Amino acid sequence: MLDESVWQELCERNGPEFVERVHIPGLIHRPDVIADLILEAVRAATTRVDDNDRDLPTMRAFRGTCLDYDASERLMSGAFPGSSPRARSGRGGRSELHSWLSDRGGNDDICLAINAVESWDAELAELLYTRFIVPLESAGVPLTRGVDWYCFVAGTGTTPFGVHTDPEPSFIFNLGPATKTAWTWPKSRLSVLNHGRPRTLDAEPLLPTADSACLAPGDFLLIPAGMYHLFRNDGPSMFLGLTVYPEDPEQTASEALFHQMRRRSARHNSGTRAASDPVAGALGAFREVLRDDSVERAVERGAMLRRSCGYGSPPRFPDRTSDQGPPYIVTRLPIVMAGQSVFALGRELSVDLGGLADLLKPGAVVGADELRDAATTPEREAAVHALIRVGVLRSVGTPS
């Protein structure tokens, strides 16, 4: 499916800064495998479980260069139809997706952008983590700020944002079925655009000075941070993108500080004096936080939660999957154990696993007899239920 040795070599040779443009033809041997999993994620993301389901995906629909709010709303809750994409394959499923965009979005030229796409499907999340993120991790690429897996689907046209740059390196995987044309410019070549803007929608005059590449299905393109770029769809196609957010120690510490302050402020504001003077409550919380190691502990906890998601977004699929009983398959996303806590799929569980920990091997199938032998106390039985609830144990054959 993926040329793993080539991907590992890229991570080790170009990381952690990724400052060179790299085009690798045929990096993914079976782009349809990933495409089908994305179709399943889109189906789950756009299908509301019940009338109270407000767990909407992060989707944006564009017409040309304009964000179409109406089409975005219709697509987010528009139930991508048909049989499960797992029953379809390759070009057929992607064709259905483009037809759905046209019918539901109301236009043939809709470009759909989806962020955190892996959060809607267990198999997709596990594949992206094990095949793509683990090599980045082993190559020493910092993942403390996490990653974003995103997807663009379109039939025609160029990038809605025009010629632009991104503050992080962009990892682009063309899943087809059509080719895509990419143009890139080093920052020095376009140091000043019209009126000093960092982007332009008037790309045509700039194309002769660009470095171009035709991306066939399965091709990969690495665009360094700050490099100008533009994509054109040569036909209906889908690409998967990966953003690795760079380290930012100050922001990490600030977020942990604010998180702890909010927790302490809630306690302070429950008192009579603080309730009448919220600023005093906030200042009291600030002094408390600075007196102990709670910020440091919050940073460590955040890192464990992020790693337990495979460094991506917290999964949505556990709450959308019914438990059909054993046998169960163990998630391939990391399970982080620290003291009396287990961090898994973006959740912290205060459970004592005991012998259950020996069963939690990534991808292992666990049967009823094994669970019964390991869950010998009410506390262990409760731990099993918690593992099922958050998706660590997933019923084999159950839709994600």
Alpha carbon distances (Å) from 77 to 105, 122, 282, 322, 367: 11, 20, 39, 21, 36
Ranges of residues in the chain with a pLDDT under 70 are 82-92, 192-197, 259, 263-290, 397-400
Would you state the CATH architecture of domain 4-244? Answer: Sandwich (2.60)
Question: So what's the pLDDT on residue 238?
Answer: 95
SS (H, E, C) 286-325: HHHHHHCCHHHHHHHHHHHHHHHCCCCCCCCHHHHCCCCC
φ/ψ region of 249 (left if φ > 0, alpha if ψ in -120 to 50, else beta) reads alpha
CB atoms within 10 A of CB 53: 12
Place of tokens 């003291």: 339
CB 121 within 8 A of CB 40: yes
Q: Where are the domains positioned within the chain?
A: 4-244, 249-292, 317-395
Render 349-389 in DSSP notation, one character per residue. Answer: E----GGGGGG--TT-EE-HHHHHHH--SHHHHHHHHHHHH
Question: Within 10 A of 192 (CB to CB), how many other CB atoms are there?
Answer: 7
Question: Looking at the chain, how many residues does it have?
Answer: 400
pLDDT, residue 94, reads 78
pLDDT digit string (tens) for 116-158?
999 999 999 999 999 999 999 999 999 999 999 999 999 988 9
The backbone torsions φ and ψ at residue 226, rounded to the nearest 5 degrees and listed phi first, read 85, -5
CA distance 100 to 84: 14
Contact between 28 and 34 under an 8 Å Cβ cutoff? The reply is: yes
- Enumerate the β-bridge partners of residue 154: 237
Q: Which run of H or of E encompasses 268?
A: helix 249-268
Side-chain half-sphere CA neighbours of 394 within 13 A: 26
Structure confidence at residue 272 (pLDDT): 47
Euclidean distance between CA atoms 165 and 227, whole angstroms: 6
User: What is the predicted pLDDT for the residue at 271?
Assistant: 52
Between the alpha carbon of residue 211 and those of residues 199, 230, 237, 325, the distances in Å are: 17, 11, 21, 54
Contacts of 267 (CB under 8 A, 6+ apart): 285
pLDDT at position 276: 61
58 touches 89 (CB < 8 A): no
Given this model, what pLDDT does residue 28 score?
98
Number of Cβ within a 10 Å radius of residue 235: 13
Report the C-alpha dihedral over residues 36, 41, 43, 49, rounded to 10 degrees. Answer: 150
The DSSP symbol for 247 reads P
Give the pLDDT of residue 275. Answer: 53
pTM recorded for the entire structure: 0.89
